[in-house]
Every structure is written in C-alpha cells, then in structure tokens.
Amino acid sequence: MALMPIADIKPGMQLAQDVTSQGRTLLAEGSIISEKHIRIMLQWGITEVDIQGEQGSGSLGTQVEQLDEATRAAHEPILQKLFRLNDLQHPMIKELYNATLLRKCAR
C-alpha cells in the first residue's frame, strides 16, 4: 500500500482505501482504476490516493520538503509572485505550486 500522486496513477491499479471528497465516496476500496476514474479524481481535486502493492515516490509535498533549502529559497520568490492571486491552501493549487517548484529546481 502506498500513497501516490494522481500524476503517477495508471489504469489497472487497485485502490487500497476509499477515495472521498467533501464527505462523498468517489471510489470504493478495491476498485480498479480506469482513465475515467483518474479524470474524475482530478475534477474533484484529489491529489493522491492509496494504491495496493505499490511503493510510492511520496507526495509532491514530501519531495518539496526534501529539496535543498538554498535551491528552494532561490525559486520560491518567483513562484510566490506567479501564484499571488491563488489560494495556496486549495489542494489542487498547492499540488500545482509544488509541481512547479520541483520542476524549476530540477533545471
């Protein structure tokens, strides 16, 4: 069982836990994921799910925490400016921010 970012999910994987949003169950534990399921999870703002039998690379937030502090500090002011009109507490915006930061730091 591993918590995996939606970007790493592939059709045919099996859920280890229910996927819920705003008190609603979107997909039940044991469901086999399809392309349609991935689209639905993205539309509902789901950023990561538990997958049976997989070893995840960790969430983007975990990967960001592991970045070198100097590299991160060099790029964050630019991203703060780019994301200034967004709610960084929203799960999808936070995920997009983290993905952008990882990409900038990898360059």
pLDDT tens digits for range 35-86: 999 999 989 889 889 888 765 555 666 777 788 889 889 999 999 999 999 9
What are the structural domain ranges in the chain? 2-57, 61-106
- Rounded CA gap, 93 and 100, in Å? 10
pTM: 0.52
β-strands 48-51, 24-27: how paired?
unpaired
**Alpha-helical runs (H) found in 32-90:** 35-43, 60-65, 69-82
User: From 3.40.50.1820, 3.90.1150.10, 3.90.105.10, 3.40.50.2300, which CATH number describes the 2-57 domain?
Assistant: 3.90.105.10
- 4 is written with which tokens? 């995996």
DSSP class of residue 49 equals E
- 67 is written with which tokens? 């970045």
